[in-house]
Amino acid sequence: MTTTYTLVPGADGRAWMWHLLAAELRARGHRVITLDLPTADSSGYDEFAEAVGAAVLDEFDRSGQLVVVAQSLAGFHAPVACERLPLPVAELVLLNAMVPVPGETAGQWWEDTGQPQARAEYAVASGREPSAGVDVRVDFFHDVPPEVTAEALAEGGAAPPSALFEQPWPLTEWPDITTRFLQGRDDRFFPLEFQRRLARERLGLEIEEIPGGHLAALSHPRELADHLARSSS
């Protein structure tokens, strides 16, 4: 059965971040939908869900099954989009993702979950300075090929809308959709054991470890495609 993967980017918001993974999935005979997310600072759940829904309805031919992949911050808004789609989603795959609870904002999530402490502790364990501020090269691109990193940083990208961090998560419970959680074992921003705890506490799920850091779609696209293909078979 053909699978159509809708790849929803994280805080970067750009479809470009998926280009290597999309090529790997297409080479395996799957369909792929990518999209740029809204950039207006007032854009919140309604606008993000509308953008995802429009991309799916424009490009999904309703043959085979639909899988939505949510990177990082998309763990907040992709489930909302799935709930509002007028067609079934076979699987929601969380990729190095944030997991909300009802009423929580993305701005509150960090302290609610203990992410700053987990990141600092992982830095110490890895021989890095725990008090250093977030450095995109160190925290996100440490395992991405230099030429891909250079292209990503040259392309730039807008900061995610502030509205998305201020609005409470609007769902009363997690969608009734088969959900998987893929987590990079070398993620420096959302460390593996932190994510393992969060997935268990908030979703009752066990994570699937994958190679790579926070941007596994750029650093290990082939391995990530293999994991996605297995999870949707």
In the chain, % of residues over pLDDT 90: 90
Distance from C-alpha of 177 to C-alpha of 233, rounded to nearest angstrom: 15
Rounded CA-CA distance 3/62 in Å is 10
Q: Which domains does the chain have, with CATH numbers?
A: 3-231 (3.40.50.1820)
Is this structure's pTM higher than 0.85? yes
pLDDT over 60 (residue 233): no
Residue with tokens 């995802």: 52
- pLDDT mean across residues, the chain: 95
Q: For 216-223, what is the mean pLDDT?
A: 98
Q: Is the pLDDT of residue 158 over 80?
A: no
In which order are the strands placed within the sheet that holds 3-8? Answer: 31-34, 3-8, 65-71, 91-95, 179-184, 208-210
**Is 42 within 8 Å of 29 (Cβ atoms)?**
no
- How far CA 168 is from CA of 80, 147, 165, in Å, comes to 12, 38, 8
Residue 133: predicted pLDDT: 82
- Which DSSP string corresponds to 71-133? ETTHHHHHHHHHHH-SS--SEEEEES-----TT--HHHHHHHHTHHHHHHHHHHHTTS-TTPP
Residue 230, pLDDT score: 84
